Structure 1
Amino acid sequence: MSSWDEVGRIALGLPEVAEGQAHEGSPAYDVSGKQFARLRWEDDGREILQFWTGDDRNALIQSNPDAYFIVRAFPSAIFAYLGALGVDELREIVTDSWQVRAPKRLVKAHPEVS
């Protein structure tokens, strides 16, 4: 079971990451001015991670349909209930999101991030 605090520990361990805010004030993590992890909440208060992936979104959703979902208003992002993710899975998707959103030069400069 993961939380936004765990997202922060992972995100801040990646190169050139800064804490940020979404347009309405929700917490986010940015790389070179682009969000790669954003906190949202379900109506019942559950934490939701908005992130980006270079993988097949449908395959990711099928791998854990209780955790992952798509919001049609955000066609380039994917969402996950943080409480439904293990720490290793969270580390993988946060790192992948960083790689997708970071400038290519930055990803190239840090091949250890995978």
Structure 2
Amino acid sequence: MFRPRPATLRDIEEAALALPEVTREPEAGGRPAFQVRGASFVFARGPRKDAYDPQTGVLYEDVLAFRCTAEDKQAMVSDPHSPWFTTPHWNGYNAVLLLERDLGRLTAAEIREVVTDAWLVRAPKRLAKAWLAGDEGQSG
């Protein structure tokens, strides 16, 4: 029986860098942020007081943020079994959070879809439209 491969950080990087006009900040090493024309769509966050383990109170050090639509955010965080979450600090901000340690709860295909959707939210409309049409060379 075929079992889908669990997602890894490498899947995020490969998915992001396969999209048009994406840069990785910093270029190598460190916790990444992926941008399209300077707009971040997937990025790693350092520890912050709004994201902590509810059992221990210890700040999460492995938070990843993915831009999304408001509708997608609601759907992703509403399932109590989902690895996606948000915090009060992110209320009104169209992004979902994921702990790196929970990446394996998603498949490689699922994380590629979320990365692509995040890019589509942040990419300039013409670039996104051209890419969706399979003609990224005409992005202007």
TM-score normalized by the length of structure 1: 0.79
Equivalences for residues 56-71 of structure 1 within 5 A: 56-63=72-79, 65-71=81-87
Equivalences for residues 1-114 of structure 1 within 5 A: 1-21=6-26, 26-40=31-45, 43=59, 47-54=62-69, 55-63=71-79, 65-75=81-91, 76=93, 77-81=95-99, 82-112=103-133
Letter in 2 for 1:78: V
User: Is the alpha carbon distance of 1:10 and 1:32 closer, same or farther for their aligned partners in structure 2, counting shifts above 3 Å?
Assistant: same
Contact 2:7 2:107 in 1 (8 A): yes
- Aligned-pair Cα RMSD in Å: 2.4
Identical counterparts, % of pairs: 35
Q: Which runs of 5+ in 2 are unaligned?
A: 1-5, 48-58, 135-140
Whole-angstrom distance in 1 between the partners of 2:83 and 2:109:
14
The structure with the largest strand share of the pair is 1
Contact 2:8 2:108 in 1 (8 A): no
How many aligned positions are there?
A: 109
Larger radius of gyration: 2
TM-score normalized by the length of structure 2: 0.66
Runs of 4+ with deviation above 6 angstroms: none
> What SS does the aligned partner of 2:18 have?
coil
Deviation digits for residues 22-77 of structure 1 (CA, Å, limit 9, x no counterpart) = xxx731100010110112467566x4320111243121123463410012223322
